[in-house]
Structure 1
Amino acid sequence: MQEDGVRAAMTISSHIDASRRPRRGFRHLRAALTVAAICLSLGACAEQYQKGYIMPIGALEQIPIGASQDQVLIVMGTPSTVATLSGEVFYYISQRAERAVAFMPQKVTDQRVVAIYFDKNRKVNRLANYGLQDGKIFDFISRTTPTSGQEMSYLTPLFKLISSR
């Protein structure tokens, strides 16, 4: 009789333990959800890259029309390149890119060319902040697209050059 009581108790306790244990399907589901959560959190950590000139905040506001070339060099620093189209022009070139995951290629998110035009007296004549908008070169200061001419023939290869890097 005592044996029947022990067997009955063992059967009940083993049945309870089996119900407390997670089933295999749930264990695999839990592992898959953990891996998915890790992948999503890593995907949210995009790396950002800045190439070329890093413009100080408020730098363009410190350069009024008529400022000297020396004042521009003090505020902006050495230009990325200098051109002499019809007067001297300082170009400050920058590019921002980001990569979603470490093994993925970088994707360019922004390209800018800040152009500072000088007259024959080496005074600021005009400021322009060129970027790409809808695939076209666009001046974000005057809100215009430059027309063809010497300026466009210089800016177009510049954007192609920094896009290919």
Structure 2
Amino acid sequence: MKPEAWPQEPEAVTEADARAVSAQLGRPIRGARAVAWRCPCGQPAVVETEPRLPDGSPFPTTYYLTCTKAASAIGRLEGGGVMKDMNERLAADPELAARHRRAHEDYLARRARLGEVPEIAGVSAGGLPDRVKCLHALVGHALAAGPGVDPMGDEAIAMLPEWWKSGGCGTEAGE
């Protein structure tokens, strides 16, 4: 699966987007700066989050995947052992490991443009730079950054079904 509109320009979070993301997460949205990627169904799917939340807490997950259908599909990949295979490949393939490390550096550079937070300096997401720990974070980064930036995120996206084709993402704002 490859979404047609990938990547997209970040869009300011509207009130409708904030309601949709809050419904997706089951809690109020926090620190969202932009919708980094919108699902083909029209709802926010990845939000770009400030590196420091409004309460002052550092938040290393710059690209937060919020789409419940995509998150469920990614959870099935994780449960099926995809991360174990990816980690084995990272350990055996120096070129893949170097590309994975470059994804980490890209993540840090994108977050630095939003602000510096010393408490999370050098920390990215999803197991970067040395392993694959959370496909949700890697897919969020890949969708926000575009193809070719996060190799493991790109691979996971290619394995996902077209979740948006079975109706909207089931948020209050999208139904």
Q: Same fold (TM over 0.5)?
A: no
Structure with more helix by fraction: 2
Structure with more strand by fraction: 1
- What band does the TM-score fall into relative to the shorter chain? under 0.3
Greater RCO (CA < 8 Å, at least 6 residues apart): 2
**Could you state the TM-score of these two structures normalised by the residue count of structure 2?**
0.26
**Could you state the TM-score of these two structures normalised by the residue count of structure 1?**
0.27
